[in-house]
Structure 1
Amino acid sequence: MVEQAGTAPLILAIESSCDETAAAILRGERQILSSQVYSQIALHKPFGGVVPEIASRSHIEKIDMVVTSALQEAGLTCQQLDAVAVTQGPGLVGALLVGVNYAKGLAYGLDKPLLAVNHIAGHIAANYLAHPDLHPPFLCLVVSGGHSHLVEVRDTGLTLLGCTRDDAAGEAFDKAARVLGLPYPGGPNL
Structure 2
Amino acid sequence: MRAETGDVAATEPGDSAPIAPQAAHPLDELYLALKAERSEPAARRIASRINKELAKKGGATADLLIEWATKAIKEKNYTVANDLLDQVIVLYPDYAEGWNNRALMHLAAGNYAMAISDLSQALTIEPRHFGALSGLAGILRMTGKEEVALDVYRRLLEIYPQHRAAQRAVMQITEGLTDEAM
TM-score range, shorter chain: under 0.3
Higher share in strand: 1
Q: Kindly name which structure, 1 or 2, has the bigger radius of gyration based on alpha carbons.
A: 2
Structure with the largest fraction of helix? 2
